[in-house]
Amino acid sequence: MTAPGSDERGPAGTPIELAAIERCRPAVDAVAARTPVFNSRVLSQRVGASVAMKAENLQRTGSFKVRGVASKLASLGQGASAGIVAASAGNHAQAVAFGAAQAGVACHVFMPRDAPVAKVNATESYGATTELGGDAVDDCLAMAAARAAETGEVLVHPFDDAAVITGQGTLGLELVEQVPDLAMAVVPLGGGGLASGVAVALKALRPDVRIVAVQAAVCAPFAAALGVGRPVTGGAPGSLADGITVKRPGTVTLPIVQALVDDVVTVEEDTIAEAMILLLERAKLVVEGAGAVGVAALLSGAVSPPSRGTTAVVLSGGNVDTNLLAVAIRRHETNEGRRLVLFARISDRPGHLARLLTVIGDAGANVIDVGHLREGYDLHVRETGVQLVVETRGPEHAQRVLAAVHGAAYDVRPVEEPRWSRRAGEAGASS
């Protein structure tokens, strides 16, 4: 691998060159799968351009991270015999644990205290020892570095390491081979390892390809860092896209992203959830929030794909906590008008709740939850509050259900104004 001070440098003078990515490819191919690329009719129709998806959620250990770890361990050779230590929100942890098991060396991983249980369990299933602590990956990195200094174990950084970046760059090689008319690549952006590696490969082989990196809006320090040309700490943890909520860009990755990535955009939590559910419903792919941000960027209009050629979106991982996925599904159903959460004030006399439920049932809706709320509301002494969760067939049906209960003289309202209702109001105001 070319050292940062070498005369041989990659695209735009970056310290990692295409040859290094090509050299590490056999080591990566020995461990990682060549993940498929799926054309997406639904996304293509939504954005008016050809869109394909690189399904790294189907990768071994559930994410692209196994590529970088394979490259790093190959570069270490026998240097990892004392064991390795890492820090991760989950995907890198699993990849490092898997790689250590393959190499027959001990592995210790630091993870945030609120790391998804599924990712913690999966990491331990590969034989690694996990330790939870800190609010974010950055805190865990400090703990991992301290342990490495104390024990002599090798720190395998999740992104700010040249060998890791070259391993991630093999994904870029595959994109060139699998998408002949590639015009744009949309890549998730956390610490920048994936975006950097893919950008080096693509700009060396196909300099005409536009590269867009996507961050979650709640934790997007790259924009500020790119403005001043040095890593800046910013953002906060607590996102559906937990895998990319890195508060500080890497010192190795920042210059590469600055030199080679054409644009950095952000997406909001609701759009990330929408992207996750669209992929689940229409593509039959389970993709975690961090892996779905590229699709979210297309859905929100943050990224405008070119009309010619294919836009490839990298679905970087699929290690989603099932509880989080259930929350995203419920939120999506509510936003799309297929699930109503209603508050009703009714007489606290026998038969009144049964009559309300009959009205809703006669309107063709399904009541899936009923809860009495007798305190904390301005209720008459002979009234009770009831919260209802109702399944409908969509916004128009939801409107008919509401009209039916109002027509029966019941005081019923949504707990909060649903998004589909706001959209209808905005459309009416603009017509």
Q: Any idea which residues carry the catalytic annotation?
A: 65, 316
Q: Which amino acid does the sequence have at 100?
A: A
Rounded to whole angstroms, the Cα distance separating 292 from 274 reads 9
Beta bridge partners of 225: none
Distance CA 21, CA 70 (A): 12
What SS3 class is residue 212? strand
Q: Got the DSSP string for 334-401?
A: HHTTSEEEEEEEEESSTTHHHHHHHHHHHTT-EEEEEEEE-SSS---TTEEEEEEEEE-SSHHHHHHH
CB-CB neighbours of 228 under 10 Å: 8
Task: Please state whether 309 falls in left (phi above 0), alpha (psi between -120 and 50) or beta.
Answer: left
What does the block give as tokens for 199? Answer: 């950008």
Strands of 310-315's sheet in order across = 37-39, 50-55, 310-315, 182-188, 210-216, 263-267
- Alpha carbon distance 388, 405 (integer Å): 12
| Identity of residue 188 | P
| CA 76 to mean position of chain CA atoms | 30
